[in-house]
Structure 1
Amino acid sequence: MTVKTEVKTYQNLINGQWVDAQKQEVEKSINPADYREIVGYVPLSTAEDVDMAVKAAKSAFPHWSKLSGGARGDVLRKAADLMEQRVNDIAETLTREMGKTLAEAKGEVMRAVAILRYYSSEGMRSIGEVIPSNEEGTLLFTSRSPLGVVGLITPWNFPVAIPIWKMAPALIYGNTVVMKPALEATVTAMKVMECLQEAGFPPGVINVVSGSGSKVGNALTEHPDVKAISFTGSNQVGQLIALKALERGAKYQLEMGGKNPVVVTQNADLELAAELTVSGSMKSSGQKCTATSRAIVVKEVYDEFREKVLQKVKGIKVGNGLAADTYMGPVASQNQYHNVLAAIQKGIDEGGHVVWGGKPLDQDEMAYGYFIEPTLIENVDPSMWIAQEEVFGPVLALIKVDSLDEALQVANDVKYGLSASIFTNHLNEVFQYLNEIEAGMIRVNGESSGVELQAPFGGVKASSTQAREQGRAAMEFFTTIKTVTIKA
């Protein structure tokens, strides 16, 4: 006999309490590996709920901002400990709700733990500098102050790490927060917020309101008491947020799309290049803003590199992310499933040739999931849609070029500039790449995805507003500078 487990209905966190949305409407969150499974029910909130959360955050700000950095750090450190204790539960929920493999999910949770611990110590570091004054008997220095209430709008592809890498610096520098997680990954976000709430933040310091972007996201962006908005997501939504924030004079930070290239020269270790290109393009089903989307390969090594990549792609095990031998899970939603398949078809229609993959996987245990074959496309001209626009799926375009100069031209000839890699063992090629590539994050002999948590994260051109996240660079966005002059 099968025992049916009751599916939990989650609530918003406002002013230290878990509460229903005002209209008490909910949306089911489903498992993309088996859409018959409901992971949980999450609130569909409105502008009323956002207003309650912002008021709570505004009321909590004076006390929280006056605490010492060390005291605030103690709470972040406790939250890290709680998350680490619950790593298996949070990771399994992440896999069931978003689809990435359990190993990747655990890695993401532990990254969030490390981020919390990093920023827990940030409260004890300097937040200003003494500047020599031209006037005798004068002390001139700078300090930094928190902004107030900040709104955080986070995506579904990293529902643990990205909320934490926004929240942790916002909180340690004395701000209070209202977060809107992506609707598709809200159950995971709520489990993270449970850890933070139990860590002992005073009521109103952390708040989460679940719902659609059109209602909750808009209300948060337009609220007059929200001093700053930090957003990760699509370019289309990011541009709207920027306009609304600019209209009322609020700070905004946008991390958006990428069309990240890997350049492979004739001086590369081709085995390493192939291994990390496949990893960068196919893990998380390509659903990373830093995922490798284009492999730009000089003609002398193109055929050998193509064959190595093809053999590795052929060996990818696709399946439920909870299975230990799965390399690549489903894409995250039905909408994502249709968008990726449409992008592949567009590449074919424009003249691209599918070397491997390109089709849905819907047999046996994958019959009720959003599974797509890992896809390798060649005969791709740099002007084609699939070479210019973000697919956000397990699709890698191969582009053959004559030289490093041409590779750089092709790599830069897109509107994005987030992450980029080069594989070469020649130092002169490395420095040419570093000097000429248009990207915010550059890897040499490494995959395009990821950056260490203590280093700035962000891109150029349409990828970012260039207000960097992570590391000490996050202080620039979440604080404002005060210049102080004291005369004796």
Structure 2
Amino acid sequence: MTAYLNYINGSWQSGQFKKTTDVLNPSNNEVLGNIPYSTKEDVEIAVDVAKETQRTWRKLSGAERGQYLYKVAAIIESRLNEIAETMTKEMGKTLGEAKGETNRGVDILRYYAGEGMRSVGDVIPSTDRDALMFTTRVPLGVIGVITPWNFPVAIPIWKIAPALIYGNTVVFKPASETAITANKLVECFHDAGLPKGVLNLITGSGSIVGNNLVEHEDVAGVTFTGSNTVGKNIANIALNRGAKYQLEMGGKNPVIIAHDADIEKAVEGTISGAFRSTGQKCTATSRVIIHKSIKDKFVAKLLNKMEEIKIGSGLEESIWMGPCASENQLNSIMSYINIGKEEGAKLLKGGNRLTESPYDQGYFIEPTVFDEVKTHMTIAQEEIFGPVIALITYDSLEEAFQLANDVKFGLSASIYTENISAMLSFIDNMEAGLIRINAETAGVELQAPFGGMKQSSSHSREQGKAAIEFFTSIKTVFVKG
């Protein structure tokens, strides 16, 4: 069994840790390797190294830093199959999805490599005619990057790449479930010749590694994607010591099916949005709000199309939906399914763990549909993070908007309609950071800002040019001869 190490100051190190944690394949419980269960001392060493290195890293030009990112992109591209296969083994998504995500990581790196040559400020007219006034942007310093298991390539890269291009250094704490994938990503940075200490990898528990990273006085900013509970804790710690923080958290994303919707497209989009990656996306469709006049037709087509979903190991070419990422995740989803039944929702399809061969060694679950769901029910309010959808009916478009907004989250939302007025009303009325029309709720392009409203985020945005807002500070300069 392979033992993976932390990466600090340009080398793989055993560090101060004494314990390790096994990483399991959720399809069959095979042990894929073990990773360090790191300590507070490991975090302190990594932060000290990153702080020292940042003094020289920030002095490089943006173009020079960009060249490193171009090299990393080329190396990841050359190892795409290996990285994608590791991802599938670690968290279960299909190999096709894993390859697509890894390709996206390559594209993100190239996008931010180009940012090294773009504007970082503005000239501003001064009231003094003999003066020059302008703004520039400077890096924060050391950035703590804390990432989840559901997108173990794309999310780390869309945080690490802008952090580096704008002159910061990084201490990266990935989810333990996908720490081997993180290890392989960092290998690519190492092999690209990234200077020692610019990117450091620490694995271990959130309570030790994560908290100590957030609490460290030399970590200038923390960017986090994960649960609301952990995100709020990070915000409190960072706020108390004056550090900058960026949170991307939960979603309870609705799709509205209007009376004039293209039913075939709506069904396809609902299934893809709800069940790809086993529903383990923050932007996954979880509520389907259907006009009463077309409900029966929509539901019949939905249930019929779901029969085509093939479940199994993501490494098999014919598989459409893989396992839940872990036993804990499976148990959480099953608990929500039981709550749905107890609260009176009607189980139309699915709802069971698959336990017979070839599923008996893994964490497989059926895609699940509940009908007659009321908006106050738990399954209509809380993020399940699994392949479970709640069907809710409406009479008027105004009622649909009210139902869609009646949750604490505001990440993504979509509508299927052919009516331009309905589209414009949807754009205007939805309390969500990502609005999609005649498309599934899941999915955002790398060059576009991404983030949520309400309790889905800290109201900042990731990706695209918006990333500069978090990873830099504005410096206003006044020059007079």
TM (normalized to structure 2)?
Answer: 0.99
**Which amino acid is the alignment partner of residue 141 of structure 2?**
G
1:23 deviation in Å?
Answer: 2.5
- What is the alpha-carbon distance in structure 2 between the residues aligned to residue 404 and residue 116 of structure 1? 41
- What is the alpha-carbon distance in structure 2 between the residues aligned to residue 417 and residue 12 of structure 1? 36
Say if 2:154 is the partner of 1:126: no
Aligned to 2:402: 409
Say if 2:149 is the partner of 1:156: yes
Are the counterparts in 1 of residues 23 and 33 from structure 2 also a CA contact under 8 Å? Answer: yes
Aligned to 2:348: 355
**Which amino acid is the alignment partner of residue 123 of structure 2?**
V
Give CA deviations for 1:106-150 in whole Å, capped at 9, x if unaligned. Answer: 001000000000000000000001111121111111000000001
Are the counterparts in 2 of residues 87 and 106 from structure 1 also a CA contact under 8 Å? Answer: yes
**Which amino acid is the alignment partner of residue 9 of structure 2?**
N
**Which amino acid is the alignment partner of residue 191 of structure 1?**
K
**Runs (4+) off by over 2 Å:** none
Aligned to 2:169: 176
Say if 2:179 is the partner of 1:186: yes
Alignment of 1:470-481 (within 5 A): 470-481=463-474
1:431 deviation in Å?
Answer: 0.5
- What is the alpha-carbon distance in structure 1 between the residues aligned to residue 106 and residue 315 of structure 2? 21
Say if 2:280 is the partner of 1:287: yes
Equivalent of 1:331, from 324, 330, 346?
Answer: 324
Are the counterparts in 2 of residues 453 and 471 from structure 1 also a CA contact under 8 Å? Answer: yes
Are the counterparts in 1 of residues 17 and 42 from structure 2 also a CA contact under 8 Å? Answer: no
Give CA deviations for 1:363-398 in whole Å, capped at 9, x if unaligned. Answer: 111110000001011010011000000000000111
Are the counterparts in 1 of residues 17 and 36 from structure 2 also a CA contact under 8 Å? Answer: no
- What is the alpha-carbon distance in structure 2 between the residues aligned to residue 195 and residue 41 of structure 1? 20
Say if 2:100 is the partner of 1:100: no
* Helix, strand or coil at the partner of 2:254: strand
**Which amino acid is the alignment partner of residue 399 of structure 1?**
I
Say if 2:15 is the partner of 1:21: yes
Aligned to 1:4: none
**Which amino acid is the alignment partner of residue 202 of structure 2?**
V
Are the counterparts in 2 of residues 33 and 371 from structure 1 also a CA contact under 8 Å? Answer: yes
Aligned to 1:453: 446
* Helix, strand or coil at the partner of 2:58: helix
- What is the alpha-carbon distance in structure 1 between the residues aligned to residue 153 and residue 163 of structure 2? 16
Aligned to 2:204: 211
- What is the alpha-carbon distance in structure 1 between the residues aligned to residue 45 and residue 192 of structure 2? 22
Say if 2:42 is the partner of 1:49: yes
Are the counterparts in 2 of residues 21 and 44 from structure 1 also a CA contact under 8 Å? Answer: no
Aligned to 2:265: 272
Aligned to 2:457: 464
1:24 deviation in Å?
Answer: 3.1
Identity of aligned residues (%): 57
Equivalent of 2:242, from 239, 249, 253?
Answer: 249
* Helix, strand or coil at the partner of 1:112: helix
Count of residues paired in the alignment:
481
Aligned to 1:198: 191
Say if 2:103 is the partner of 1:110: yes
1:354 deviation in Å?
Answer: 1.1
Aligned to 1:232: 225
- What is the alpha-carbon distance in structure 2 between the residues aligned to residue 10 and residue 246 of structure 1? 34
- What is the alpha-carbon distance in structure 2 between the residues aligned to residue 21 and residue 343 of structure 1? 40
* Helix, strand or coil at the partner of 2:451: coil
Are the counterparts in 1 of residues 336 and 384 from structure 2 also a CA contact under 8 Å? Answer: yes
TM (normalized to structure 1)?
Answer: 0.98
Stretches of structure 1 that go unaligned for 5 or more consecutive residues are 1-6
- What is the alpha-carbon distance in structure 1 between the residues aligned to residue 11 and residue 18 of structure 2? 16
- What is the alpha-carbon distance in structure 2 between the residues aligned to residue 272 and residue 23 of structure 1? 52
